[in-house]
Structure 1
Amino acid sequence: MLKFVKNHMDSIAGIEIYPVISLLIFFTFFVALFWWVFTAKKDYIQRMSDIPLDNENDTTL
């Protein structure tokens, strides 16, 4: 089965670029997330972390 998949994938022209693109997207996402975490305002993070504990916005059924 693996030999069939490997032979089939080798027949697709330009397929070698897809793993590179996937790695770049993955790396870019986590670098951007890392940058956002360290540059986010502390009061914004505190406000967001308090949302689950805020009783004023609770809706009862």
Structure 2
Amino acid sequence: MLKFVKHNLETIAGVEIYPIISLSIFFTAFVLFTVWAMTYSKETLNTVSNLPLNDDESLTEKHNF
């Protein structure tokens, strides 16, 4: 089955750029999300992680979650 796909892709001019573009987009998004996660406030993370355990409605109103 792969040879059918390979043959069709070989006949398209300029198709070799698409895997490079998709890898670049994925890698950029991965790095940005990793940086965002590492720089996220520890206080906010603790608050959000404890939300399922708390029955206090004022927490959700205070932080607009």
TM-score (norm 2): 0.74
Amino acid at match of 2:16: E
Q: Does 1:31 align with 2:31?
A: yes
Between Structure 1 and Structure 2, how many residues are aligned? Answer: 57
Question: 1:12: how far off?
Answer: 1.3
1:50 corresponds in structure 2 to 50
Question: 1:26: how far off?
Answer: 1.1
Instruction: For structure 2, list consecutive stretches of 5 or more residues without a partner in the other structure.
Output: 58-65
TM-score (norm 1): 0.78
* Runs of 4+ residues over 2 Å off in structure 1: none
Amino acid at match of 1:42: K
- C-alpha distance in structure 2 between counterparts of 1:25 and 1:51, whole Å: 33
For the aligned residue pairs, the C-alpha RMSD in angstroms reads: 1.4
Amino acid at match of 1:22: S
Q: Does 1:3 align with 2:41?
A: no
Amino acid at match of 2:20: V
Percent same amino acid among aligned pairs? 49
Question: 1:52: how far off?
Answer: 1.3
Larger helix percent: 2
User: Secondary structure, in 3 states, of the residue corresponding to 2:12?
Assistant: coil
Instruction: For structure 1, list consecutive stretches of 5 or more residues without a partner in the other structure.
Output: none
